[in-house]
Amino acid sequence: MRDVTLVPLLLLASAGWLLAPAHAASARGRTVASGDRPRRDQHHAACSVDLTEDLAEKEPLILQKQCTKNVCSWKLSEGDEDQLNFERGEEVLIACPDKNNELQGFASQTKSVVAVCSDKPDSSFKVNGEAFTIKGFECERIPKGEIMTKNVACGHRNAELMELGFTVRDQWYSLIKVCHVKARSETLFTEHILQGETTKKRRIAKRPSFEEGGCGCYQGFSANDAYKNVNKTLREVTGSSKFPSSISSNIDRGHLAPDGDFPITPYRYATYFYVNAVPMWSVINRGNWVALEDKIRKLARDLATDLHIATGVFRVMDLPDRNGNLQELFLYRSSNRKQIPVPKFLWKVVYDEKSKKGIAFVVLNDPFPKAIDSDDELCPNICKESGWNDNRWRRISRGYLYCCEVKELKKFVPYVPKYDVKSVLNGSD
């Protein structure tokens, strides 16, 4: 099985099938790096697919073919960021990956077909001479993807690299990188690409349930049950039956790589694996954390460029028990094991490869303090001078948030991925 990274970077794959980003079109035979995008008017395309209207309810993956001298890269749109544009005669691979999934209306167990853009009214694609609209390609269910264990160390010696993505015709396409510690069922960080030109309109799909994904990350217990039984766990740790009565005590399955950063429904579904989630207090996940995600997407839109996003955790949150002793919080506890730690800090690094600018954000995943201690600030706050200031960031109950230089955060969190940051990536308040 060969690997292809599902990001708009140089990709090497001799077969040449590439997952189509939401702004896919011809790159005219040359490799195109992140942030360096040719553009063309989608009206010149023979087949144009509107991501917000034209796809089937259970949409498939759409892959495009482009290879020049065995070097393959994304076909990038020169037009509307919500369009997939294809030239007449261009081949497109339509796929329904995942176990027990297949294309509807084709022979049994057909998981993929090659369609050709035909430029005919109401029948834009042909498969073996038979005409189809793009909506005629529908899966039995929306592809969700899978977890691929890479057997490579990451973060520190106890962590291993995994990827979330899709297998199509025995070729692996990576969407999200995950650095996970199986011994504690803890993901240290994830990495993904936020494609700036695909965030103006986001397809809203029904949210799937989180899955473990068969990675062996939650051996001997259920991650789903651990989250469902969080109130019971909190009562046991704190010794207080009244604790769960507060709205602040609810804990979410908080995304690291958020579904909202991906424009295509199967990509969004691929974010719903437990290795891409950490325990976040609901008021924080739905407060300053989601507000930060929205601000980052807005920056990507304004810059019309791709941003590298790394999102992770640091340290374990604690709460006092009935005797005043601090107890670390884990969602699963047994006589000899503590699994799925509740992080004390959430962090996010945003890096623009084109300008070599970056910024780090830290959120205190604790809604209970009355005031912020010096230990709660891992690095000097530069929100004001960097254009990322927001009055909401000061609200502890919504997740106290501050901004840092990437190098300053890395002094405390050594496993922050390395980026070639030369200066601060400014926001626009």
What confidence tens digit (pLDDT) does each residue in 386-407 have? 999 999 999 999 999 999 999 9
By DSSP bridging, strand 61-65 and strand 17-19 are antiparallel
Q: Specify whether 255 is catalytic.
A: yes
Where are the chain's structural domains? Answer: 1-95+102-138, 146-424
Rounded CA gap, 112 and 356, in Å?
39
By DSSP bridging, strand 17-19 and strand 47-50 are unpaired
Question: Mean pLDDT across the stretch 327-336?
Answer: 93
Up-side HSE of residue 64: CA atoms within 13 Å toward CB? 27
CATH architecture assignment, domain 146-424: 3-Layer(aba) Sandwich (3.40)
Q: Please report, as a single letter, which amino acid is at residue 178.
A: V
Question: Mean pLDDT across the stretch 374-381?
Answer: 96
Please provide the average confidence, as pLDDT, over all residues in the chain: 85
Question: Mean pLDDT across the stretch 114-130?
Answer: 85
Of 128, 74, 29, 18, nearest to 306 (Cα)?
Answer: 74
| pLDDT attached to residue 25 | 34
| pLDDT attached to residue 66 | 67
Read off the pLDDT band of 83 (50, 70, 90): confident
By DSSP bridging, strand 357-364 and strand 423-424 are parallel
| pLDDT attached to residue 227 | 97
Find out whether 185 and 158 touch, Cβ atoms under 8 Å: no
Find out whether 201 and 30 touch, Cβ atoms under 8 Å: no
Rounded CA gap, 32 and 191, in Å?
20
Read off the pLDDT band of 214 (50, 70, 90): very high
Which residues neighbour 149 within 8 Å (Cβ) at sequence distance 6 or greater?
160, 162, 215, 216
pTM: 0.88
Task: Find out whether 100 is annotated in a ligand binding site.
Answer: no
Q: Which of 180, 192, 255, 308 is catalytic?
A: 255
pLDDT at 49 over 50: yes
